[in-house]
């Protein structure tokens, strides 16, 4: 029993747990109808008790305040698909999982089906062991300017461009060391992802040299996917795209976020809508096989008609992947501070998310990865859609955390996954100056940790 919890105007919350032959959890809030549930076959009782308490509170509060509960029920984590994968690992059938999602986690039918769809598509990409093959992420923490909603490692070239050469020199050392280790241990690299920042801020011979080194040191016989984030279209010239294509990159991201010029200016992006069309056409012209486009829902001043226009314009280009983000409040509050215009309720947000899903379906795409963020506007989710056979394997591995990902470069996050499913995260410095200064000294220790983990 937890007798002292209070909320609202001093209402008393009481929780009683009876672990007899069955597990009974009762939740009551003074002034409201109590809620009780009995489980006859709860195996992991501690987990089940927590879930039941959350469900009880959700039900009582929704009834007493006449609120419609979130379609995500009591699931608050960033990676809800992990719940489905864990249940599959435990041997539950798809039918039982659906029931569990609806009855224990209180998901709406729509979200339960979405989660199961996504998990079903991801399953074939899982490997029996987490450390062979691995994936490699390389962070290039530079951008032309900083978008006002940005929460990534991204330093504007106009103020930090003088750090680029030092950064690239340190990155070369790190790539060489990791490449040597992977060859020595005979490990394959399944996916390579160049992110940031905007890696295509690096141009000319610097870009050629970087991609050549990645090709020689990290690309292996089993590499199935090589992605370069080319998010800012103003960085994409014919020359840059040709260098990328010749290096064997199979997937790029060109991210308009919106197809409204006024919003682009308001959120601090330097490029125009025309830059998006030009970059996309050039990328197709040089033969990049897969192009992803990102959009953000809930940007300042944008309601359903503006989102629909963006979706129509993107559809006319015909990308292979579409990633639909809902603006996160953390970013939104920075935007709000600057612009005082960001507002989106759940219903408005849900209408935008549904509309984006409809357009993705018209493009022949299906959802293949999904995540939520804290403070996401409208309590919604971010969804990656792909046409058949173009789902990004890196995005799946990164999101589901069943494969070791070695993070290099600025802000590069290494995720060391063990066979028992445990995970250790370790991040490189985000700031290019700190990264350059510290890399040489940090490298032996990082390599030792990688060696121990990968050969363990």
Residues in contact with ligand SF4 by CB under 6 A are 143, 146-147, 150, 152, 154, 196-198, 231-232
Instruction: Quote the CA–CA distance of 323 and 385 in Å, as a whole number.
Output: 6
Shortest separation between residue 365's beta carbon and ligand SF4, angstroms: 22
Q: Quickly count: other Cβ atoms within 10 Å of residue 345's Cβ.
A: 11
208, 163, 216: which is closest to 189 by C-alpha?
A: 216
Burial 146-159 (b: 16+ CB within 10 A, else e): bbbbbebbbbebee
As a whole number of angstroms, the distance between CA 78 and CA 402 comes to: 15
Residue 26 or 235 having the CB closest to ligand SF4? 235
Nearer to ligand SF4, 152 or 226 (CB): 152
Please report how close the Cβ of residue 116 comes to ligand SF4 at its closest, in angstroms: 31
Angle ∠(109,35,25) on CA atoms, nearest 5? 95
Closer Cβ to ligand SF4, 121 or 330, answer by number: 330
Q: Which is nearer to ligand SF4, 176 or 270 (CB)?
A: 270
Nearest distance in Å: CB 245, ligand SF4: 21
What tokens does 99 get?
């029931």
Q: Looking at beta carbons only, is 198 or 220 nearer to ligand SF4?
A: 198
Question: What are the backbone angles phi and psi of residue 133, rounded to the nearest 5°?
Answer: -80, 165
* Nearest residue (CB) to ligand SF4, 79 versus 334: 334
Mention every residue, 6+ apart, whose C-beta is less than 8 A from residue 31.
11, 64
Residue 109 C-beta: closest distance to ligand SF4, Å: 34
Judged by beta carbon, residue 150 or residue 173, the one nearer ligand SF4 is 150
Nearer to ligand SF4, 189 or 254 (CB): 254
Q: Please, what is the minimum distance in Å from the beta carbon of residue 275 to ligand SF4?
A: 13
Residue 196 forms beta bridges with which residues? Answer: 140
- Residues 270/276, Cβ–Cβ less than 8 Å: no
Both tokens of residue 121? 């598509």
Nearest to 113 by CA among 126, 129, 102, 128: 102
Closest separation in Å from C-beta 446 to ligand SF4: 24
- Work out the angle between the directed axes of helices 81-89 and 109-122 (0-180°, nearest 10): 60
Q: How many whole angstroms from its chain centre is CA 246?
A: 28
Smallest distance, Å, CB 142 to ligand SF4? Answer: 8
> Do strands 413-417 and 142-143 pair parallel, antiparallel, or not at all (unpaired)?
unpaired
């Amino acid at each position: 029993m937890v007798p002292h919890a209070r909320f609202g105007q001093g209402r008393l919350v009481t929780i009683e747990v009876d672990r007899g032959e069955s597990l009974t959890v009762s939740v009551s809030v003074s002034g409201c109808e109590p809620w009780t549930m009995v489980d006859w076959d709860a195996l992991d009782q501690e987990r089940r008790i927590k879930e039941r308490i959350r469900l009880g509170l959700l039900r009582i509060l929704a009834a007493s305040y006449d609120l419609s509960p979130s379609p995500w029920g009591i699931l608050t984590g960033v990676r809800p698909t992990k719940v489905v994968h864990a249940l599959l690992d435990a041997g539950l059938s798809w039918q039982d999982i659906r029931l569990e999602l609806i009855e224990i986690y209180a998901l709406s039918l729509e979200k339960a089906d979405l989660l199961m769809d996504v998990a079903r598509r991801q399953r074939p990409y899982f490997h029996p062991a987490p450390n062979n093959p691995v994936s490699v992420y390389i962070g290039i923490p530079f951008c032309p300017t900083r978008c006002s909603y940005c929460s990534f490692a991204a330093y504007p070239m106009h103020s930090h461009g003088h750090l680029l050469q030092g950064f690239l020199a340190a990155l070369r050392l790190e790539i060489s060391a990791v490449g040597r280790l992977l060859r020595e241990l005979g490990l394959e690299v399944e996916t390579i992802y160049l992110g940031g920042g905007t890696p295509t801020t690096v141009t000319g011979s610097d870009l050629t040299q970087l991609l050549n080194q990645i090709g020689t040191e990290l690309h292996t016989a089993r590499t199935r996917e090589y992605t370069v984030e080319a998010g800012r279209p103003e960085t994409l010239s014919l020359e840059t795209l040709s260098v990328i294509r010749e290096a064997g990159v199979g997937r790029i991201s060109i991210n308009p976020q919106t197809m409204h010029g006024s919003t682009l200016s308001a959120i601090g992006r330097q490029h125009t809508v025309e830059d998006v069309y030009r970059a996309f056409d050039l990328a197709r012209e040089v033969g990049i096989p897969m192009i992803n486009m990102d959009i953000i829902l809930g940007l300042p001043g944008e309601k359903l008609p503006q989102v629909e226009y963006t979706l129509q314009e993107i559809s006319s280009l015909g990308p292979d992947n579409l990633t639909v983000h809902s603006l996160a409040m953390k970013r939104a509050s920075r935007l709000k501070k600057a612009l005082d215009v960001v507002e989106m309720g759940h219903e408005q947000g849900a209408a935008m998310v549904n509309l984006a899903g409809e357009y993705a379906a018209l493009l022949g795409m299906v959802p293949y990865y999904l995540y939520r963020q804290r403070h996401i506007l409208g309590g919604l989710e971010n969804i990656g859609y792909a046409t058949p056979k173009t789902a990004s394997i890196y995005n799946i591995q990164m999101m589901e955390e069943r494969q070791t990902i070695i993070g290099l470069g600025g802000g590069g996050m290494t995720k060391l996954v063990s066979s028992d499913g445990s995970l250790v995260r370790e991040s490189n410095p985000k700031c290019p100056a700190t990264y350059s200064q510290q890399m040489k000294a940090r490298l032996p220790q990082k390599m030792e940790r990688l060696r121990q983990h990968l050969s363990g």
